[in-house]
Chains A and B, each alone.
Chain A
Amino acid sequence: MSSIRRAGVSVAESPLLCVEDLHVTYHTPTGMVQAVKGVSFELGREKLGIVGESGSGKSQTGRAILGLTSPGGEVQARRLEFQGTNLLHADRRTLRKIRGAGISMIMQDPKYSLNPVMTVGKQIEEAFLIHSNDSKREAYARTLAMLRAVKIREPERVYRAYPHEVSGGMGQRIMIAMMMIPEPSIIIADEPTSALDVTVQLQVLAVLDDMISERGMGLIFISHDLNLIASFCDRILIMYGGQVMEECKAADLQQAQHPYTRGLLGCLPRLDGSQKELAVLQRDPAWLDTQGSTS
């Protein structure tokens, strides 16, 4: 691991985020739904991918970390710590400070995550000013610098633009700028590029990748796209039915052992070889630990 130092704390000693035995449970009229069942992981200054199919609990895991579980959902964990702060028992004020400045989140669709009646520049500035006491002039300068950092060519023009005036790729760059400007230590990106074309998707990821490695941040990258996660992240958690099936280095994904991971890999059509028939994933109920804990 690299020897990036921040606030005098060495990386190897303390992970940024500690999640131990996380459970998210929804109480519905038709019974209890366990969306996340005993997920544990640590996040350092790295790119951690969480991959799974719909309903695997990957997004619920990301949202629970930031306390964004929808009403009706109950979050329990043995440990949920961000740089020594217990997120489970933090009061609202502490949580507000952590959201944005400590941990921030990039959502899937910029069209729904940006305020449609506010210029892009003002929204980025707002994200900055909430977490600092700097002047508006400073905020303006920082915003332009940040727009440049996410490779937007005409930052002054885009500053004055409204969200509907920008393309999907640019909208997602704006989201990244907005999330980066309070200088958080962790970014949670939930399917940040699934709505974009492949080439634009990769360009946006390159922006994110560069910023994360320059600033020594931690990234939780949530996606359903196995190939993308394997090529983009350092480490991968494979989730199914609210549990972590397997954890592996991204580079070793092709050698993954768990039948679920193997099944997922097998059912992808490939460009570089012709399969007559795609393998179909056979789900085994035994994968899901009835105890509801993976240790």
Chain B
Amino acid sequence: MIDIQGLDVVFGHGTKTFHAVRDVSLKVEKGQSFGLVGESGSGKTTVLRALAGLLDRVAAVSGSMTVAGETLQQQRSQAFRRRVQMVFQDPYGSLHPRHTIDTILSEPARVHKLERIEERVVAALEEVGLDASFRFRYPHQISGGQRQRVSVARALITDPDIVLLDEPTSALDVSVQAEVLNLLMRLQREHGLTYVLVSHNLAVVAHVCDTLAVMQNGEIVETMSVQQLRQHQSSMPYTQQLLTASLGYDRSAIDAFEEFGR
């Protein structure tokens, strides 16, 4: 479904350049979930944004990307923009504060000239567990978890095949995170969606994904199955350190931490 080969992303130009992503290749099959994990600055979000076509104006993107057989051009096709949707990290920053939920949800449907917009809005809200009364509220009138549900509904309104999830639950409380993760899993089953999930939380990636890639300094260090991750079968010291760290505080383990610097 998704095939990325040799992706490079360079920000800036002249002497001040920053090579954010180096030679990243990955494949995701239809209906699968692929996780990208890594610490801040490792380039995981940049890969996602490059795939979505959100970087072309601000960075030099090279390499080949194919989605559902369509080789991506710099100018993405209308079909691609309908087929691939994104859910962002911050449910406070990604919904227009002066638009009602109804406006927010119907905008992508209008852009893609879809029919029966009102029905779609109500159906999408229902899908994410919100009733139709939410339509005429503003983002500030609903909770963080409800906002993230609206973000998911906005992604669903165009009947996508692929949903790109950029830290979808890291701004939420754990109990709300559980609800949103359950929702994402159910939607995937019911609609056969393909997910690419970016997260710094290994447990969240293990819960949602089938395969994951560990990124560090713009490169993929290791690609492994979630099964391998759960059994700590990793050959790379960087991945092992991330695993140790995600298990909680252990004073004796910390002194052995290495710097995997640039």
Binding site for B on A (CB under 8 A): 53-54, 197-203, 205-206, 209, 224, 226-228, 230-232, 263-264, 267-275, 277-281
Tell me if B123 is interfacial: C-beta within 8 Å of chain A: no
Within 8 A of A (CB), among B191-208: 200, 202-204, 206-207
A278 CA to B180 CA, complexed, in Å: 10
**Is the pair A264, B175 in contact by a Cβ cutoff of 8 Å?**
yes
Q: Which of B40, B173, B249 has the most CB of A within 10 A?
A: B249
A270–B207 Cα gap in the complex (Å)? 7
**Residues of chain B at interface, number, CB under 8 A:** 33
**CB-based nearest B residue for A205:** B249
Query: Which of B's residues lie within 8 Å of A, judged by CB?
Result: 39-40, 144, 173-175, 177-179, 181-182, 185, 200, 202-204, 206-207, 229-230, 241-243, 245-251, 254-255, 257
Q: Which of B173, B175, B248, B251 contacts A230 (CB 8 A)?
A: B248
A193 to B: closest C-beta gap in Å:
10
Q: How far is the CB of B257 from chain A (nearest CB, A)?
A: 6
- A271 and B206 contacting across the interface, CB-CB below 8 Å: yes
In angstroms, how far is the closest chain B Cβ from the Cβ of A188?
18
Residue from B174, B206, B230 within 8 A of A224 (CB atoms): B174
Known: A198-B39, A198-B200, A206-B254. A281 touches B175 (CB 8 A): yes
A278 touching B207, Cβ below 8 Å:
yes
Q: Which residue of A202, A232, A274 has the most chain B CB atoms within 10 A of its CB atom?
A: A202
Residue among A270, A278, A279 with max Cβ neighbours from chain B (10 Å)? A278
Report Cα–Cα, A73/B179, bound state, in Å.
33
Beyond A263-B175, A268-B174, whether A197 also contacts B39 by CB under 8 A is yes
B254 & A198 in contact (Cβ 8 Å cutoff): no
Closest chain-B Cβ to A144's Cβ sits at a distance in Å of: 22
Q: Cα distance A201–B249 when bound, in Å?
A: 9
Q: From residue A248, how far is it (CB to closest CB) to chain B in Å?
A: 16
Q: How far is the CB of B234 from chain A (nearest CB, A)?
A: 12
